[in-house]
Structure 1
Amino acid sequence: MKTPPRLQKDDFEALSEFRYQLRRFIRFSEDAAQSEGLTPLQYLLMLHIKGFPGRDWASISELAERLQSQHHGVVALVTRCEKAGLVTRTQDDKDKRLVQVRLTETGEQYLHRLAQLHRNELHSLSSVFQVSHISAFNDRD
């Protein structure tokens, strides 16, 4: 097994810059959600429902994985979002153990406004996340 090359100053600078820009984006996201009267987790829940591959709903387990949270915590979050009129949950017709979580029209409206803001912010950060900015991580020969 080949020993990885020793990290150089530019590796630490690239890591630092990446983490800084990532944290700036997360802070932007938190502030944007709160400006709409939502918590950052409510926004993320709605994003993961809408963004779930191949369908317009997600299960509690799938959302727990996407949010990197405990199942019971996601159940509580879904309950709060349901009370706020952002999501609905229904039992699956075939598998009664499966709960499908879907966005409501109100949830869709919030999500679209916030996602547009996030897309604009990502475009402004695009140069930071270019491959050339993290080239310091490539193995040195």
Structure 2
Amino acid sequence: MKPDLNYADHLLVTLAEFRFELRKFLQFSENASIAADLQPQQHQLLLQVAGAAEGTPVTIAYAAIRLGLRHNSTVELVDRSEREDLIERTIDKNDKRRAILHVTRKGRQVLHKLSDDHVRELNEMAPRLVRALRRVQLHSSTSLAQEAL
């Protein structure tokens, strides 16, 4: 800890650095999506649909929760992605009222390329992200130790 900063100020510096590293990755991700002719939210939709745990019914409601969007916004995103042949909907065999989302072949191709790009970027950024996260953890541990006194 720098001697000229008190604990609270040092925590702010630490959180700011962590947030900066995260934002750099998010900016990379947004730019990579746009370069692949996708809106960033479409990339996130494809990732959440393709990356759902085995046996998880990927519905509009599921996608909305995973994306942090309202239901109607997710419907619009799925509609747009379906028009672009990235996502398809099928009727749920167990509940005919809901649709299950699937990534199309085209969607998987775009997603695989973006995923490769993201892994390369994360490998490059990993040391800085881990260092920033460890500093946050150190502050958390220090704070808990101070509270125990």
TM-score, normalisation: structure 2? 0.84
Higher gyration radius (CA): 2
- SS at 2:89 equivalent: strand
Q: For residues 28 and 54 of structure 2, what CA distance do their matches in structure 1 show?
A: 28
User: Any residues of structure 2 matched to 1:54-133 within 5 Å, and which?
Assistant: 54-55=54-55, 58-130=58-130, 131-133=133-135
Structure 1: which 4+ aligned runs deviate by more than 6 Å? none
- Contact 2:22 2:129 (8 Å CA) reproduced: no
Aligned length in residues: 136
- Cα deviation, 1:8-43, whole Å, max 9, x if unaligned, reads 222111100011111111110110000011100110
Deviations 1:62-97 (A, max 9, x none): 000001101111111111101101010011012012
Instruction: Give the Å deviation of 1:7.
Output: 4.8
Q: Secondary structure at the match of 2:127?
A: coil
User: What is the alpha-carbon distance in structure 1 between the residues aligned to residue 110 and residue 63 of structure 2?
Assistant: 18
> Could you tell me which amino acid in structure 1 is paired with residue 114 of structure 2?
L
Please say if residues 46 and 111 of structure 2, whose CA atoms lie closer than 8 Å, have aligned partners that are also in contact: yes
Aligned mates of 2:7, 2:91 — CA distance in 1:
51
Report which of the two has the higher share of helix: 2
Amino acid at match of 1:88: E
Q: Share of identical aligned residues, percent?
A: 32
Aligned to 1:3: none
3-state SS, counterpart of residue 37 of structure 2: coil
Tell me the CA shift for residue 137 of structure 1.
Answer: 2.9
Secondary structure at the counterpart of residue 69 of structure 2: coil
User: Which residue is 1:27 aligned to?
Assistant: 27
Amino acid across the alignment from 1:49: V
Contact 2:82 2:88 survives alignment (8 Å):
yes
